[in-house]
Structure 1
Amino acid sequence: MIPNYQEFMRPFLEIAQAADGAEVKLRDVINQIADQFNLSEDERTETLPSGRQSTLDNRIGWARTYLTKAGLLEVTRRAHFVITDRGIKALQDPNTLINNHYLKQFDEFIAFKEQKNDSSSTEKASTEVIESSANETTPDEVLRAAYKQINDALASDILSRTRKVSPAFFEQLLIDLLLAMGYGGSDEGMAHTLGKSGDNGVDGVINQDPLGVDQIYIQAKRYAEGNNVSSGDIRGFFGALNLKKAQKGIFITTSEFTSSATQTAKDLGMRIVLINGKELAKLMLRYNIGSRDEQVLSLKKIDEEFFEV
């Protein structure tokens, strides 16, 4: 398990102190700390949900930021640091726990956390919430956790609403989703529903080329929670695909697939993709089907190259 960012503060300072006045490179510090904590390769390469940065880099980076803001480290150049006299003093007692509470004795750190000079009361309140929530997690991890919580609630709501729409509306919803995902190109005429009696269980089809040579067939089951799709449903859809000489099929439900249904789909090969209710709701949120963007927040970071001289 990767330690929280505050647990990296003392090791970071100790590595900087061991350099005996010379600067240390952030990447070297990260590697040494990973070795000290005996982190596995998976832990070293585990990434944040964005996939753009490793969790380890992110947490050690925040430890470095807080130590720098408190005056225990000093930036010398891009991604290079030296320990300050204040940092050396902090390490004198090996029993001293260096964390956010310790750093609060320094005015610079308090100013950084509270932004006293230019924060509105709303911003200060937000800072306090993050501070109380971030004893073990970094501020951006708190933000991402809040984002996930909001999206999970929205996914639950959108799935509940989807289960209540009419069959025709549901089938068209799925066509709209697949078009938004890039299937069938941009031409709405390349997708149509087939939800009529005698359709051999196939509810819709997406043409992936202008001539309709390559098609994806869709089976849609708007089931209530607990009414799970069985292996018999999967075999029936597989038979319908064979009748149409189709090579690809997507089976979508607002409930779940039984374990035997999942196994049946695997045994029949990779021709049938299964999408359960939770996955459907996440896709609808991602492609704004039944939802819309209310506000877009961008996480910024310093462009180190800009400040290089």
Structure 2
Amino acid sequence: MAIPKYHELRISALRLLSDGRSMKLRDFLEPLANEFKLTDEEINEMYPSGNGHIFYDRISWALSYLNMAGLLDKPARGIYKISKKGVTMFNSETPEYINEFVDKEVAKRDKIKKNKNPEIKIIDLNDRQTPQEGLYTSFNNIRNSIYEEILTTILTKTPAAFEKLVVMLLQKMGYGGEIKNSGVVTKQSNDGGIDGIIKEDILGFGRINIQAKRYRLDIAVGREEIQRFVGALAVAQSNKGVFITTSYFSKGAIEYVENLFGNTTVVLIDGKNLASYIYDYGLGMQVEQTIEIKKMDTDFWDSMANQ
């Protein structure tokens, strides 16, 4: 039979997890292939581009949508487990109702994300786009999903690991230049409100001081925390600071920084910008694939004689 679509795999995947076990993505391959009676050729069939196995990818999307709808939990990276809501629905609702519920929840989630950031384009299979527009839409959606993965991964790490990460990021962005050991993570027991320092010259006269807050994505950094950071900069006799968080800044915090007087400069980097910098500068990232798009060379073709 044909390789099932991702929405056709959702109930079967939920059934495999209904006994409360935890499974990795690859653990779903064999039982789902057996259930849908797939041949080895179908299991191993690749996309025309050669980038990825179709069946494996569709399982991944099925699990992602179940997770977005709250029917699955991810206790660790790459691990799936049925949630309390998933258990309740699996034991009391029909497959048709569950699939309808998942579609509605995902659509609701996408609408909220789009309202928060109008730049995000939600893929609509009924939307008539040129192949090139569709490619760019897909790229932006993949990029935004990776942003979310970066932030959720950071939240599983320790505060000390996050402080080290932001120092590495600023160095990757070019701050500190070629200076040896230009980035320093301060000792937690006596950091004076400064989590890291970037030396801008060999003797350390120029310094960028860093505050790093690994906050849950829905918790805002308020004005008071920025004021304390500015006070820490004054004690450190520094006029350059970068405040980095995994969450976002309140309106009051942003206005406070915009209205700072004197020579003190504070740059605010929220979760979205943090993820984009990590992505763009390749910190802890790998290039999965490169797509080369070509267009006709007008000068070349115009130089040829017309009939």
TM-score category of the 2 structures, normalised to the smaller one: 0.5 to 0.7
For 1:27-38, list aligned pairs within 5 A.
none
Residues 1:226 and 2:152 aligned together? no
CA distance in 2, matches of 1:238, 1:156: 29
Structure 1 partner of 2:5:
none
The answer as to whether partners of 1:222 and 1:255 remain within 8 angstroms in 2 is yes
* Letter of the structure 2 residue corresponding to residue 279 of structure 1: N
* Letter of the structure 2 residue corresponding to residue 223 of structure 1: Y
| Structure 1 residue ranges without an equivalent (≥5) | 1-119, 124-131
For residues 198-246 of structure 1, give each alpha carbon's deviation from its aligned partner in whole angstroms, at most 9, with x where no partner exists. 3220100111222222211100001112222111100000011111221
CA distance in 2, matches of 1:187, 1:179: 10
- Following TM superposition, by how much is the alpha carbon of 1:167 offset from its aligned partner in structure 2, in angstroms? 1.7
Q: Among all aligned residue pairs of Structure 1 and Structure 2, give the percentage whose two residues are the same amino acid.
A: 36
CA distance in 1, matches of 2:127, 2:229: 51
The answer as to whether partners of 1:179 and 1:186 remain within 8 angstroms in 2 is no
1:285 to 249, 256, 279: 279
CA distance in 2, matches of 1:207, 1:289: 20
2:290 to 278, 296, 303: 296
- Following TM superposition, by how much is the alpha carbon of 1:250 offset from its aligned partner in structure 2, in angstroms? 0.5
* Letter of the structure 2 residue corresponding to residue 146 of structure 1: S
SS in 2 for 1:122: coil
- Following TM superposition, by how much is the alpha carbon of 1:299 offset from its aligned partner in structure 2, in angstroms? 2.1
CA distance in 1, matches of 2:268, 2:167: 16
The answer as to whether partners of 1:158 and 1:290 remain within 8 angstroms in 2 is no
For residues 152-193 of structure 1, give each alpha carbon's deviation from its aligned partner in whole angstroms, at most 9, with x where no partner exists. 111101100101211221111111111111111144501111
Structure 1 partner of 2:82:
none
CA distance in 2, matches of 1:133, 1:224: 33
- Following TM superposition, by how much is the alpha carbon of 1:143 offset from its aligned partner in structure 2, in angstroms? 0.5
CA distance in 2, matches of 1:148, 1:188: 37
- Normalised to the residue count of structure 1, the TM-score between the two structures is 0.55
Structure 1 partner of 2:76:
none
The answer as to whether partners of 2:179 and 2:201 remain within 8 angstroms in 1 is no
Quickly say closer, same or farther: Cα 1:191–1:230, change in 2 above 3 A: same
| Residues 137-146 or 156-165, more deviating | 137-146
Larger radius of gyration: 1
Quickly say closer, same or farther: Cα 1:236–1:154, change in 2 above 3 A: same
The answer as to whether partners of 1:133 and 1:142 remain within 8 angstroms in 2 is no
Number of aligned pairs? Answer: 182
Quickly say closer, same or farther: Cα 1:249–1:305, change in 2 above 3 A: same
CA distance in 1, matches of 2:232, 2:172: 26
| Structure 2 residue ranges without an equivalent (≥5) | 1-45, 50-123
- Normalised to the residue count of structure 2, the TM-score between the two structures is 0.55
Structure 1 partner of 2:201:
209
Structure 2 partner of 1:180:
172
The answer as to whether partners of 2:167 and 2:196 remain within 8 angstroms in 1 is yes
Task: Specify which structure has the bigger relative contact order, considering alpha-carbon pairs within 8 angstroms and separated by 6 or more residues.
Answer: 1
CA distance in 1, matches of 2:183, 2:289: 31
CA distance in 2, matches of 1:151, 1:249: 28
Quickly say closer, same or farther: Cα 1:172–1:188, change in 2 above 3 A: farther
Structure 1 partner of 2:48:
122
SS in 2 for 1:265: helix
Residues 1:271 and 2:265 aligned together? yes
2:191 to 182, 186, 199: 199
For residues 11-59 of structure 1, give each alpha carbon's deviation from its aligned partner in whole angstroms, at most 9, with x where no partner exists. xxxxxxxxxxxxxxxxxxxxxxxxxxxxxxxxxxxxxxxxxxxxxxxxx
For residues 64-95 of structure 1, give each alpha carbon's deviation from its aligned partner in whole angstroms, at most 9, with x where no partner exists. xxxxxxxxxxxxxxxxxxxxxxxxxxxxxxxx
CA distance in 2, matches of 1:135, 1:192: 50
* Letter of the structure 2 residue corresponding to residue 278 of structure 1: K
